[in-house]
Amino acid sequence: MYALLDANNFYVSCERLFRPSLVGRPVVVLSNNDGCAISRSNEAKALGVRMAQPWFQCRHLEREHGLLALSSNYELYGEMSERLLAIASGYAPRAEVYSIDETFLDFEATERALGDRVSLGQRLRAHILRWIGLPTCVGFGPTKTLAKLANHIAKTAERTPGSYPVRHAGVCDLGPLESDELHALFAATPVGEVWGIGRRTAPQLEAAGIASVLDLVRTDTRALRTRFSVVLERTLRELRGTSCIGFDDAPAPNRQIMVSRSFGEPVLRGSELAQALTRFAGRAAERLRAQQAAAGAVLVFITTSPFRRDDAQYSRSVSMPLLRPTADTAVLVSAAISGLRRIYRKGYRYAKAGVMLLELQPQALRQRELELPSPDAPREYTRDRTKLMTAMDRLNRRYGRGALALAGAEPREGLERPWLTKAERRTPRYTTRWDELPLARV
């Protein structure tokens, strides 16, 4: 038996912790660059703000209905996420972090001793609310997909009473339900709400007469696979109670690392793109070292904005293989800049760029080689600079991100930095910065 624990409107709820006056008000948290609404309070949802809706489309609600928008504050959310996980982990033998605000719990080993799952779920919610102030919902099910569905039902039932025939809001257990009850819940749920069925597949299913989860569960497995995909077949089997998606409490290290940003303002000059990519590659390299890996290739991409119809469009990427896997910031940056030289074209208004580190492998893995002098190999390839990188990471951890960085990304005479991300509404990083601690007046 699995549980899925999921925070309600997570980013908004984090903001409310330190500004209780926001409770009851329509609030949204914006994506990077203050672009889209990516977390919405229930009041904002009620005003009709859609997930990922561009801010310029809903900002009129600011004046009309007192909608408040905040820039995202990932340091705060990341830290609250760790606290959430710490509490949740105490409730089950195994926990799998699924996203910043979601955790699967596996109760298989303690099935018998579990007792009433609904009351366990209520205890967990109350515990989290009391200790760290975050509202959550819990869904139980014999497979991950069913636990996700149970969570969806718990959330919807809490936000909109009467939307589902359930006894408790905030916790839903699909385990013990008799099939009549289960079918009633399935019938009331559109197929697009199922984990793994997105906005492409949902309309196709509906066109085929499969509108509710109940319709889906009654579809022939083989027909579904032929018509759609093996992925959808797996979802169907999960909905019928056969576990197909394994539980993984020790996730494998990432296979790729990406750092990309939309620019605050369009960038035209290659030198400014180079600055931005230097910073992105540096950040990617830090994350690479944090997971003790090395990259075998660097991919760079630059693109204009597809939303600006009047602009000439240009979008390209190039993958730069490295002589040998490395986690050295300078080597990765220089590969990224070489890549940029290959794809940069003058005359476009670039809106976004990014760096991906590919072919990751554990840093401990070292291909032995003959040390032949090679005229092609730049000096840095032949020197072990692990210690330098370690020192740099340590300094940045101690004095804050960016305390020590390559000069290539820093302000420079004659260069603007139009690529810097906008965040005009960011709240203080209450839990991670000494100089941004909240003040209590007595």
Question: Which of 254/338 has CB closer to DNA?
Answer: 254
Q: Quote the CA–CA distance of 108 and 119 in Å, as a whole number.
A: 17
Please state the closest distance from residue 291 (CB atom) to DNA, in A. Answer: 9
Please state the closest distance from residue 310 (CB atom) to DNA, in A. Answer: 9
What the block records as the tokens of 268 is 């035209």
Q: Quote the CA–CA distance of 89 and 100 in Å, as a whole number.
A: 15
Say if CB 355 and CB 281 are below 8 A apart.
yes
Q: Which of 327, 370, 348, 192 lies closest to 266, judged by CA?
A: 348
Please state the closest distance from residue 236 (CB atom) to DNA, in A. Answer: 14
Torsions phi, psi of 176, nearest 5?
A: -90, 0
Please state the closest distance from residue 112 (CB atom) to DNA, in A. Answer: 30
Query: Three-state DSSP class for 429?
Result: coil
Say if CB 324 and CB 279 are below 8 A apart.
no
Please state the closest distance from residue 296 (CB atom) to DNA, in A. Answer: 10
Question: Which of 16/352 has CB closer to DNA?
Answer: 352
What the block records as the tokens of 138 is 């819990």
Please state the closest distance from residue 384 (CB atom) to DNA, in A. Answer: 25
Please state whether beta strands 53-54 and 293-304 pair in parallel, antiparallel, or not at all (unpaired).
unpaired
Question: Which of 196/270 has CB closer to DNA?
Answer: 196
- Give the interface with DNA as residue ranges (CB under 7 A): 31-33, 35-36, 38, 52, 54, 56, 98-102, 148, 194-202, 229-231, 254-262, 266, 287, 305, 307-308, 319, 351-352, 354, 421
Q: Quote the CA–CA distance of 240 and 222 in Å, as a whole number.
A: 14
Burial of 314 (0-12, 13-18, 19+ CB in 10 A): middle
Distances (CA, A) of 191 to 9, 148, 208, 219, 368: 22, 13, 12, 12, 53
Please state whether beta strands 2-7 and 136-141 pair in parallel, antiparallel, or not at all (unpaired).
antiparallel
What's the one-letter identity of residue 304?
T
What the block records as the tokens of 287 is 């994350």
Residues 176, 179, 181, 182: is their CA dihedral positive or negative? positive
SS3 content of the chain, % helix, strand, coil (to 5): 40, 20, 40
Please state the closest distance from residue 388 (CB atom) to DNA, in A. Answer: 23
Please state the closest distance from residue 301 (CB atom) to DNA, in A. Answer: 11
Please state the closest distance from residue 115 (CB atom) to DNA, in A. Answer: 28
